[in-house]
Structure formats: C-alpha cells, structure tokens
Amino acid sequence: MHEEQLKNLGQRAQPVRVALTGGTVSPGIFEVMAVLGRERTLARLARAVAVGQ
C-alpha cells in the first residue's frame, strides 16, 4: 500500500472504532470484531449508521 492509502485507511477506521468500542483508543479493529462476534459487530455498526442519519 502507498503511504496515502495507509493514511486514508486510518482516517476511515476511526469512525468504525468509535462505533464498535465507544472510544477512539482500542485494540485493533479486527481483534475487536473477533471478540464481539458477527452479530454484535453488525448491530453496533447499524446503530452508528442510524444515529448518523
């Protein structure tokens, strides 16, 4: 990946991190998703989208 792509990934990952954990500092997003499981991860993301609309 190019540096610019990595920078953009970090900017995109932060809202997902907040949606999943409620904070801006957490373990890796993929690790959080693994602990939460598919259903809880999708529910938290759906709730964040609904709040953002």
Angle between helices 29-36 and 3-21 (to 10 degrees): 30
More confident residue, 4 or 36: 36
Q: What is the pLDDT of residue 26?
A: 94
Q: What is the pLDDT of residue 1?
A: 57
Report the number of distinct structural domains present in the chain: 1
Residues spanned by the domain of 40:
3-52
Residue 20 has pLDDT above 80, yes or no: yes
User: What is the pLDDT averaged over residues 3-10?
Assistant: 72
Q: What is the pLDDT of residue 4?
A: 74
Residue 42 has pLDDT above 70, yes or no: yes
Q: What is the pTM of this model?
A: 0.77
E strands, 1-53, are: none
Cα end-to-end distance, the chain, whole Å: 32
Residue 21 contacts by C-beta under 8 Å, 6 or more apart in sequence?
A: 32
